[in-house]
């Protein structure tokens, strides 16, 4: 082995021993808001999780060379770039949306990769009897939370409940670059649908939007809970009485959206997006959401009625051609100024062939939309998903899905970075192009 | 307004810290050999950034500024250690924690010990080139020297390491 190789191996091995650093102790300033998040809070779950069943994942050690001059998510990144690392759900048998009871099923695994190099860092299969179902990321580009459900899937998707939550930590360049640790956050009761999740920027708390008995009699209130990752306890719970109707907002079954909840103001404020579906009799879920509203709530507000303690930030206009909004996926940007919308540009239910996926940006201040991109052509199905957006919305990762005629012919799906009116394709080493909620940065 | 700006600055610096502190502490550990000292150096660098934030012309260069501060801080620690070692006859190579030493293999320990015995500039060049896989240009920018200096420092550093490792084997 050459001296250079020995230096590489020794420095990587020594650096890998450094797993955590203490929080930054900046001088206090007079008008500091009451919610003082400490960076140490997101390192705490690792220690706390030692008390619960910890799952050490055996991974092939993939050598990853740390790169210096890059800007991860929390940093004002240059326009047109993604955060370096991502985690994505992957079903070896095809899109995860095709997992249905009564059909051949394969558990959904988690793939962690580096989009700068295109390399896959690790594939994590779920624990026996579980399948991964949703995921969300902190702002450090290294921390993710993943939801798991029972496997095989026994019930129609909306009724499947979260049975476990896991913390995924990425340590590039170490012998075990990815670790999976079960969190003490409890699973959801049977019949409870989780419609959205969002990990706080510092990774200390998980926001979960859920509803009991969706599509069943006695549908419960829409509930937004904040869980401490360190202790697993619910620190806040806010509810909305939806008069027995399903509520929430998210692509497909309306489950595990990682864009319907957005942390703002460095984690001091939570933006909650939901609509009430009082027109459809069952899933697909997004069609029929009316009066989709984004509300902001101070994360320190006491538990109780969300409507009483939150403010309306934005209302999405209802679509012209159908009940509810034209947006299939919606993302409020991290600066709270723009609402990004992935539209199908028409009423897909009418089985016309005149639709094209498009992305639009609404100004929160004026309510006016601006067309960002429209896929050329006309299709029977044309969907646009917002997968990720930079804090100002200047960079958007989206996917477009088309089929020439409704239910017939080949399906085309592409993920790409949207900048300056162009969609530059981005390939991920996944079995299928991810839909919204299936990838996090 | 001032308080809000200060809070905004605090959040931006904290976000940078959250994103990069771990990587910078790893880099500093390779330079100074001790995690506590490495964390001190990185904290000081971010405090410096926090104080200078309003004067920073190009925020995109914040990371480069912090990295340069970390390298400077490591040099200062080495100089301090060297002075102390002359008085107390301590071996500056013994800064590693016992736990870290125990977890590393013999071969790695030899390399790291040798790395700490070569001059600061050579160590920086070798670590930036072979640990961070920086190009000569990137390393030159991080160290604040010319590309030629990086090239010669790397070459001399590797030659010195080769000699030391050969002597020990």
Structure confidence by residue, pLDDT tens digits, A79-107: 568 999 999 999 877 666 555 556 667 88
Structure confidence by residue, pLDDT tens digits, A283-294: 444 455 677 899
- Please answer whether residues A68 and B67 qualify as being in contact, where contact means their C-beta atoms are separated by less than 8 angstroms: yes
Average pLDDT over residues B118-132: 91
The mean pLDDT value of chain B amounts to 78
Q: Are strands A234-240 and A304-305 parallel, antiparallel or unpaired?
A: parallel
Structure confidence by residue, pLDDT tens digits, A210-247: 998 876 667 889 999 999 999 999 999 999 998 887 78
How far are the Cα atoms of A62, A98, A329, A393 from residue A87, in angstroms, in the given order?
16, 20, 19, 21
**Is A9's Cβ below 8 Å from some Cβ in B?**
yes
Task: Tell me, rounded to whole angstroms, the distance of Cα A94 from its chain centroid.
Answer: 19
Hey, which residues does B127 pair with through a beta bridge?
Answer: none
**Tokens in use for A256?**
């595990």
Distance CA A426, CA B90 (A): 54
Tell me what pLDDT residue A114 has. Answer: 93
Across A171-175, A348-352, A408-412, which has the greatest mean pLDDT?
A171-175
On chain A, the residues whose CB falls within 8 A of the CB of B107 are 6, 10
**Is B156's Cβ below 8 Å from some Cβ in A?**
no
Look up the pTM and report it. Answer: 0.61
Tell me what pLDDT residue B92 has. Answer: 36
In chain A, residues 36-75 whose CB comes closer than 8 Å to chain B = 39, 65-69, 71-75
pLDDT band at B8; cut points 50, 70, 90: confident
Q: Check whether A360 has a pLDDT greater than 80.
A: yes
Distance CA B105, CA B130 (A): 19
Check A66 against B63: CB less than 8 A apart: no
């Amino acid at each position: 082995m050459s001296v250079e190789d020995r230096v590489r191996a020794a420095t990587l091995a020594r650096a890998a021993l450094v797993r955590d650093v203490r929080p930054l102790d900046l001088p206090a300033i007079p008008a500091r808001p009451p919610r003082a998040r400490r960076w140490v809070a997101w390192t705490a779950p690792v220690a706390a999780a030692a008390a619960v069943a910890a799952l050490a994942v055996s991974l092939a050690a993939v050598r990853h060379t740390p790169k210096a001059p890059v800007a991860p998510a929390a940093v004002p990144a240059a326009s047109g770039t993604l955060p370096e690392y991502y985690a994505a759900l992957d079903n070896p048998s095809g899109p995860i949306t095709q997992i249905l009871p009564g059909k051949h099923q394969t558990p959904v695994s988690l793939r962690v990769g580096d989009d700068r190099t295109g390399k896959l860092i690790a594939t994590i299969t779920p624990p026996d009897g579980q399948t991964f179902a949703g995921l969300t990321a902190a702002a450090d580009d290294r921390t993710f939370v993943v939801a798991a459900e029972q496997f095989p899937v026994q019930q129609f998707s909306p009724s499947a409940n979260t049975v476990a939550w896991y913390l995924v930590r990425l340590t590039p360049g170490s012998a075990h670059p990815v670790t999976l640790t079960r969190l003490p956050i409890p699973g959801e009761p049977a019949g409870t649908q989780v419609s959205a999740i969002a990990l706080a920027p510092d990774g200390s708390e998980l926001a979960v939007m859920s509803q009991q008995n969706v599509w069943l009699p006695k549908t419960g209130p829409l509930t937004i809970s904040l869980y401490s990752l360190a202790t697993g306890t619910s620190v806040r719970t806010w509810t909305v009485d939806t008069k027995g109707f399903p509520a929430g907002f998210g692509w497909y079954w309306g489950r595990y959206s990682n864009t319907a909840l957005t942390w703002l103001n460095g984690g001091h404020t939570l933006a909650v997006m939901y609509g009430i579906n009082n027109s459809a009799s069952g899933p697909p879920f997004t069609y029929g959401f009316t009066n989709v509203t984004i509300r902001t709530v101070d994360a320190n507000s006491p538990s109780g009625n969300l409507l009483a303690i939150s403010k309306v930030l934005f209302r999405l206009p209802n679509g012209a051609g159908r009940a509810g909004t034209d947006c299939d996926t919606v993302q409020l940007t991290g600066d709270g100024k723009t609402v990004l919308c992935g539209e199908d540009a028409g009423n897909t239910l009418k089985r016309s062939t005149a639709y094209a996926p498009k992305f639009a940006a609404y100004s929160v201040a004026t309510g006016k939309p601006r067309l960002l991109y429209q896929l050329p052509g006309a299709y029977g199905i044309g969907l646009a998903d917002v997968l990720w957006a930079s804090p100002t919305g200047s960079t958007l990762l989206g996917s477009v899905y088309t089929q020439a005629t409704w239910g017939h012919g080949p399906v085309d799906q592409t993920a790409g970075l949207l900048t300056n009116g162009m969609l530059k394709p981005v390939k991920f080493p996944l079995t299928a192009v991810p839909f919204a909620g299936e990838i996090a940065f | 307004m001032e308080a809000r700006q200060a809070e905004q600055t605090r959040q931006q610096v904290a976000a940078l810290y959250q994103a990069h502190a771990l990587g910078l502490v790893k880099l500093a550990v390779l330079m100074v050999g001790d995690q506590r000292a490495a964390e001190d150096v990185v904290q000081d660098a971010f405090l410096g950034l926090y104080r200078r934030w309003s004067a920073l012309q190009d925020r995109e260069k914040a990371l480069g500024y912090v990295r340069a501060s970390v390298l400077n801080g490591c040099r200062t620690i080495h100089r301090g250690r060297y002075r102390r070692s002359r008085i107390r006859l301590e071996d500056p190579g013994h800064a590693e924690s016992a736990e870290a030493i125990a977890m590393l293999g013999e071969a790695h320990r030899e390399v790291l010990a040798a790395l700490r015995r070569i001059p600061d500039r050579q160590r920086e060049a070798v670590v930036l080139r072979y640990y961070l896989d920086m190009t000569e240009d990137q390393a030159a920018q991080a160290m604040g020297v010319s590309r030629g200096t990086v090239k010669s420092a790397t070459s001399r550093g590797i030659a010195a390491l080769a000699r030391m490792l050969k002597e020990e084997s």
